[in-house]
Amino acid sequence: MVMKPATWSLLGACLLAVACDEEAPFFIDTLILSDTVDPVGPYTVSTVVVDNYGVIEVELDYQIGLPAAPIAVDCERNGNTDTWNCLIPGPRRSTRIYYSLTARDSAGKTARDPALAPDSYSFAVTAREPPPIVVDAGAPDRALHDAGAVEDRGDAGAATDSSASDRVAEDGGIEDSGGEDAGSEDAVALDRTAEDS
């Protein structure tokens, strides 16, 4: 089959102007952000989107809480790949952020992710507050007093133990001296008995 000049002309026009592009971009994979405790951000959303003639633009729309007006940010292509990165600024407070993406190809056709509006992805931002610092002015004094009390109790215990040892020694000495006195009296009694005999 031989193409007529008019057919060649139409084919050339389609190739040059991409007027025959019937396919919109297609999102393959989009990162769904998890809940975070970082209120500062930014939060990076990466997406992979392809098209038969090439994607020329990807845009991310986000909302801080609902209802809220959407804010649009341009995404950047990662080199010559089909991956695009988008940054969502941090809200610096606790809230929920909703986002969706739109891709446009060279023929002006667009695709949305999630596909159906007003569906969107979302994640929660929880701003952690530092725990309150409770200052007890009397705590150091009490600690020092307690430490001194422990030392005092230790000295008193040592003194008590020493006194107890002294008493034991004195008691032993009394018992010993008592024993010696009893022995002396027995010896005197035996001497007297011998003399009488």
What pLDDT digit, counting tens, does each position of 86-104 carry? 999 999 999 999 999 999 9
Rg of the chain, C-alpha, whole Å: 48
Would you identify the CATH topology of the domain 16-125? Immunoglobulin-like (2.60.40)
**How far is residue 163 CA from its own chain's centroid?**
59
166-190 tens-digit pLDDT: 554 455 444 444 444 445 555 444 4
Please tell me the predicted confidence (pLDDT) of residue 146. 52
What is the reported pLDDT for 31? 96
Please state whether the predicted TM-score (pTM) of the whole model is above 0.85: no
Residue 28, token pair as written in the block: 């393959």
Query: Which regions of the chain are under pLDDT 50?
Result: 1-3, 7-8, 10-11, 143-144, 149-160, 164, 168-169, 172-182, 187-190, 193-194, 197
Amino acid at 146: D
The pair phi, psi for residue 98, each rounded to 5°, is -115, 140
Q: How far apart are CA 18 and CA 10, in angstroms?
A: 11
Q: In this predicted structure, what is the pLDDT of residue 179?
A: 46
Q: What is the reported pLDDT for 8?
A: 47
What angle is formed at CA 31 by the lines to CA 28 and CA 34, rounded to 5 degrees? 155
Compute CA distances 190 → 8, 102, 111, 183, 193, whole Å. Answer: 158, 129, 132, 11, 5
Reduced DSSP (H G I as helix, E B as strand, rest coil) percent helix, strand, coil of the chain, to 5: 35, 30, 35
The residue type of 173 is G
